[in-house]
Amino acid sequence: MSVMIYPQGRTLSFVYGDERILVCREDRPKVTSRVQIKVYPDGRVVAAAPSDIDDHAVLVAVKKRARWIHQQLRDFRQQYEHLIPRQYISGESHLYLGKQYMLKVIESEDHTPQVKLLRGSLEVSVRQRHSGNVKTLLAEWYKDKARDVFARRLDAMLEHTLWVSERPQFRTRVMQTRWGSCSPKGCLTLNPYLVKASRECIDYVLLHELCHLAEHNHSERFYRLMNQIMPGWQSVKEKLDGMAHRLLLN
């Protein structure tokens, strides 16, 4: 199982005005029968409900909030109209471990191409000031940092997961729909873009996958484990979901 960036489940839909709105249905722990509806900045509409509630009932709940959903989508679309694509030039803001750093590009034929994390800035040295060169260097830097950070956070999280007898292997791989996954053999795959998020978000993804070593499905036992080792994980998940579009922005 895996921590999804964009939830995968049954897709429902309804019409509001002249627009058909798609809704991704997610299962949630059966602690309440209430349908939880969220609209994300990238235009996703997610309805989370216990698995024993049928799709019709979920749609009824969604339609009751149709006006609010439509307004949220419209507001986010207006915000996106003002987003400026990354140009990889000095002055841009880039994330690392949940904090913003200003990009500083230095062109010098004498310097080895490299990235340095300085106080408040990411300094990228290139021989030619070309956005493609800067982008490539920065992407590799994120991957290197991700492997180091994930290894340290994994060791820290293993202190709380007593059901894990051996340190699981992990690898990093860029994924567009997942933050992490756990194979049937217990190997973890983590998205290097996750290193842009806070340590709390990284810990949540690691703990989610470590819980799958004990319970491969999203069962009641799985959620009990999550609640035991990370009380309030739902708010961390919501935070991570809400900033997914920024973390994935190249």
The DSSP code sequence of 173-197 is ---SSEEEEE-TT--EEE-GGGGGS
> Per-residue confidence at 29, pLDDT binned at 50, 70, 90?
confident
Question: Selecting from 3.30.450.20, 2.40.170.20, 3.30.2010.10, 1.10.10.60, what CATH number does the domain 148-247 have?
Answer: 3.30.2010.10
Distance CA 56, CA 228 (A): 33
> Per-residue confidence at 227, pLDDT binned at 50, 70, 90?
very high
Taking the domains of the chain in order of start, what are their residue ranges? 2-80, 93-138, 148-247
What confidence score (pLDDT) does residue 248 get?
A: 80
- Contacts of residue 17, defined as CB under 8 A and 6 or more positions apart, other chains included, come to 70
> Per-residue confidence at 219, pLDDT binned at 50, 70, 90?
confident
- DSSP E strand stretches across the chain: 2-4, 11-16, 19-27, 36-39, 45-49, 93-96, 99-107, 114-118, 121-126, 170-172, 178-182, 188-190
Cβ atoms of 115 and 137 within 8 Å: the answer is yes
Distance CA 123, CA 117 (A): 6
More confident residue, 77 or 211: 211
Cβ atoms of 248 and 5 within 8 Å: the answer is yes
More confident residue, 81 or 65: 65
pTM of the predicted structure, to 2 decimals: 0.74
What confidence score (pLDDT) does residue 8 get?
A: 60
Look at residues 173, 239, 168 and name the one whose alpha carbon lies nearest to residue 210.
168
Q: What separation, in Å, do the N-terminal and C-terminal C-alpha atoms of the chain show?
A: 26
